[in-house]
């Protein structure tokens, strides 16, 4: 019954959008009012390829009104937390419970003490004390905290797809929650940024975001045999989940008639009939394996397409290591990231995780799995 009503709602949304467009595009109706700080607006923007374009600008809250989140880290071995996509030996998607944590301990990653209390730290306000801790984040509840995202209205195909590396920006969900690619690996940081069973968690900036297609994540739990259920996000494997930052729509794992999508490209998209029946266009589909998101973007994204008013974290303007940051503004690591062939956000995260402007570049290089020489050669000079 719920699913039926939800599809009716989606249909209504489609009907009030533009009549027919060659590409599925974001429009003023497309993100939930529960998340928007102000109505969506159309603004001039510049695409990464230098083209002038029109973008929808969305200003959203640190979490949409009414969205339940968690649990993330279990307090003890007898409690059950969220999920984690472990990429070491015995790799797979796991429920964070006693069996999983004891398995990790056997692999040299012990996240609990002798009494069975799980090591947890709140990444927004403190650092870890032990070698291996489960990361929990608390929400920034300041009323003026907001996130601004820019999404091209008319998508433009890129010359070649852009891979989505660790914490790369994927898109915006229709519920107004940002979507990112893989969270940082335990193998890189030693710590586990636990996700809840709908695939989200809190950034160091205090805002909630997705690391999966949350409206179709139960399909993944079923396919990967994980004892978890996303209870607070309505599941619909045909529904649109959001818009990628290149402007193309992202849908669940099947078409509107429940048939499997055919002819998907390497990113997980294809040109075909939209599941809501509104026409034919390029769109992405989620998969049944975690993270069930596009693995690359075929289109061109807008420059400076993600910023927050948060004091820290992805997209913050206060610099990476503290107020002002190097040179009094946000240092531009785009050129360095491009020279190194890595995602700029992954570079920023690695620098931030190693102490921001005081970061030891040897540690940053080790975290990214690149040589110190290459990193030093690519980095902008320090002030
Ligand atoms: Zn994250
Ligand atoms: Zn399709």
Distance 214 CA to ligand 1 centre (A): 14
Strands 306-308 and 200-202: unpaired
Residue 242: burial class (beta carbons within 10 Å; 0-12, 13-18, 19+) = buried
Distance 238 CA to ligand 2 centre (A): 9
Within 10 Å of residue 325's Cβ, how many Cβ atoms? Answer: 18
- Domain ranges across the chain: 1-317, 324-378
Distance 226 CA to ligand 1 centre (A): 20
Distance 269 CA to ligand 1 centre (A): 23
Higher pLDDT, 369 or 16: 369
Is the distance from CB of 304 to CB of 48 less than 8 angstroms?
no
Dist CA 343 CA 265 (whole Å): 21
Nearest to 80 by CA among 210, 231, 197: 197
Distance 259 CA to ligand 1 centre (A): 31
Work out the mean pLDDT of the chain and round it to a whole number. Answer: 85
Distance 259 CA to ligand 2 centre (A): 9
What does the pLDDT read at residue 358? Answer: 57
Distance 36 CA to ligand 1 centre (A): 20
pLDDT at 367 over 80: no
- 145: tokens are 């905290």
148-205 per-position pLDDT tens digit: 999 999 999 999 999 998 889 999 999 999 999 999 999 999 999 999 999 999 999 9
Q: Strand, coil or helix: what is 328?
A: helix
Is the distance from CB of 201 to CB of 209 less than 8 angstroms?
yes
Q: Strand, coil or helix: what is 94?
A: strand
Q: Which ligand is nearest to the CA of 250?
A: 2
Q: Which ligand is nearest to the CA of 277?
A: 2
Nearest to 221 by CA among 201, 195, 240, 243: 195
Question: Which of 212-221, 268-277, 278-287, 288-297 shows the lowest mean pLDDT across its residues?
Answer: 268-277
Is the distance from CB of 63 to CB of 177 less than 8 angstroms?
yes
Within 10 Å of residue 179's Cβ, how many Cβ atoms? Answer: 26
Single pTM value for the model: 0.79
Within 10 Å of residue 287's Cβ, how many Cβ atoms? Answer: 21
Nearest to 86 by CA among 70, 63, 71, 106: 106
Helix/strand/coil (H, E, C) string of 58-80?
Answer: EEECCCCCCCCCCCCCCCECCCC
Total residue count of the chain as it appears in this document: 383
Dist CA 25 CA 22 (whole Å): 9
Residue with tokens 């947890």: 120
Q: How far is CA 6 from CA 20, 222, 275, in A?
A: 22, 22, 13
What does the pLDDT read at residue 373? Answer: 76
Q: What 8-state DSSP symbol labels residue 379? A: S
Q: Strand, coil or helix: what is 262?
A: coil
Q: Which ligand is nearest to the CA of 178?
A: 1
Q: What 8-state DSSP symbol labels residue 241? A: E
Contacts of 113 (CB under 8 A, 6+ apart): 119
Confidence category of residue 345, pLDDT binned at 50, 70, 90? low
Angle at the Cα of 56 (from 50 to 60), degrees rounded to 5? Answer: 120
Q: Which ligand is nearest to the CA of 286?
A: 2
Contacts of 381 (CB under 8 A, 6+ apart): none
Dist CA 201 CA 122 (whole Å): 12
Distance 34 CA to ligand 1 centre (A): 21
pLDDT at 36 over 80: yes
Q: How far is CA 130 from CA 9, 121, 261, in A?
A: 48, 10, 45
Mean pLDDT of 108-133: 95
Q: Which ligand is nearest to the CA of 252?
A: 2
């Amino acid at each position: 019954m719920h699913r039926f009503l939800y599809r009716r709602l989606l249909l209504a949304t489609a009907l009030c959008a533009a009549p027919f467009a060659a590409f599925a595009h974001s429009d003023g109706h497309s993100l939930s009012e529960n998340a928007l700080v102000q109505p969506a607006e159309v603004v001039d923007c510049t695409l990464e390829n230098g083209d002038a374009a029109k973008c929808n600008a969305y200003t959203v809250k640190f979490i949409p009104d009414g969205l339940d989140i968690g649990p993330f880290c279990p307090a003890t071995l007898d409690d059950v937390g969220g999920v984690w996509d472990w990429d070491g030996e015995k790799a797979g998607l796991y429920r964070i419970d006693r069996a999983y944590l004891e398995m990790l301990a056997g692999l040299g990653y012990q996240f609990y003490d002798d009494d069975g209390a799980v090591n947890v730290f709140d990444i927004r306000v403190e650092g870890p004390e032990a070698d291996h801790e489960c990361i929990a984040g608390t929400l920034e509840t300041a009323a003026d905290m907001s996130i601004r995202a820019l999404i091209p209205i008319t998508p433009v195909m890129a010359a070649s797809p852009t891979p989505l590396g660790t914490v790369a920006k994927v898109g915006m969900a229709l519920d107004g929650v940002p979507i990112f690619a893989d969270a940082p690996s335990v193998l890189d940081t030693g710590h586990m940024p636990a996700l809840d069973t709908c695939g989200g968690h809190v950034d160091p900036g205090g805002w909630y975001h997705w690391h999966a297609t949350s409206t179709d994540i139960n399909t993944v739990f079923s396919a990967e045999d994980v004892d978890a259920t996303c209870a607070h996000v309505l599941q619909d494997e045909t529904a649109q989940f959001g818009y990628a930052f290149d402007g193309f729509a992202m849908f669940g794992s099947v078409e509107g008639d429940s048939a499997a999508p055919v002819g998907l490209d390497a990113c997980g998209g294809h040109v075909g009939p939209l599941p809501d029946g509104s026409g034919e266009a390029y769109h992405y589909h989620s998969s049944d394996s975690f993270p069930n998101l596009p693995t690359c973007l075929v289109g061109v994204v807008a420059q400076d397409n993600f910023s927050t008013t948060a004091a820290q974290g992805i997209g913050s303007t206060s610099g990476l290591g503290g107020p002002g940051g190097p040179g009094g503004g946000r240092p531009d690591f785009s050129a360095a990231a491009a020279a190194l062939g890595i995602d700029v956000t992954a570079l920023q995260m690695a620098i931030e995780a190693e102490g921001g402007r005081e970061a030891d570049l040897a540690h940053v290089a080790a975290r990214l799995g690149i040589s110190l020489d290459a990193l030093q050669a690519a980095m902008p000079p320090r002030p």
